[in-house]
Amino acid sequence: MIEDLRKALAELRREEPTTKSALVRQVFPEIEEALAEGYTVKSIWERCRGAGLETSYKDFCTYVNRARRHPRRSAAASGRKTSPNVLESQANDSPGFDPLANIRRLEANRPGFHWRGPEDLDVLVHGKKKEKAG
């Protein structure tokens, strides 16, 4: 039964896609190459339309933009799904990692005058200085 399912799925993959967006996704690597070589989306659409793709220019742009935003997903090398949080946790484990380094650098280099008041609330509110014990 498993072999029958595999054969059926292999036959399905050999067939031409039924949706226009799937057709565009299937030839998207060639579309990207043409765009990189300097051709416009409109000229690519005109060629595709001449080859039998019946879609409006607006819809073609939508299909291309979707293919750009959502590239094909491939399985992880180990067969397990990886999450983006794995990379973040690895970065947080490194000894010299400071997630707020950019903010601290920008805060220190702000232009203009910045008064940083006393940190003791009694000094700020009541004007009392702490008496040194001793």
Q: Model confidence over 52-79: pLDDT tens digits? A: 888 999 999 999 998 888 876 655 555 5
In a domain, 132, yes or no: no
Higher pLDDT, 131 or 17: 17
What's the one-letter identity of residue 86? V
In a domain, 43, yes or no: yes
Count of the separate structural domains present in the chain = 1
- pTM score > 0.85 for this model? no
φ/ψ region of 110 (left if φ > 0, alpha if ψ in -120 to 50, else beta) reads: beta
User: What confidence tier does 97 reach under pLDDT thresholds 50, 70, 90?
Assistant: confident
DSSP 8-state secondary structure symbol assigned to residue 42: H
In a domain, 26, yes or no: yes
In a domain, 7, yes or no: no
CB of 46 within 8 A of CB of 55? no
Q: What is the mean predicted confidence (pLDDT) over 3-28?
A: 86
Supply the range of the domain harboring residue 24.
19-69
In a domain, 100, yes or no: no
In a domain, 131, yes or no: no
Helices (H), the chain: 2-14, 20-26, 28-36, 41-50, 57-69, 84-93, 101-108, 121-125
Higher pLDDT, 30 or 129: 30
In a domain, 52, yes or no: yes
pLDDT over 70 (residue 123): yes
Of the spans 5-9, 110-114, 119-123, which averages the highest pLDDT? 5-9
pLDDT tens per residue, range 16-57: 888 888 888 888 889 999 999 999 999 999 998 998 888 999
In a domain, 92, yes or no: no
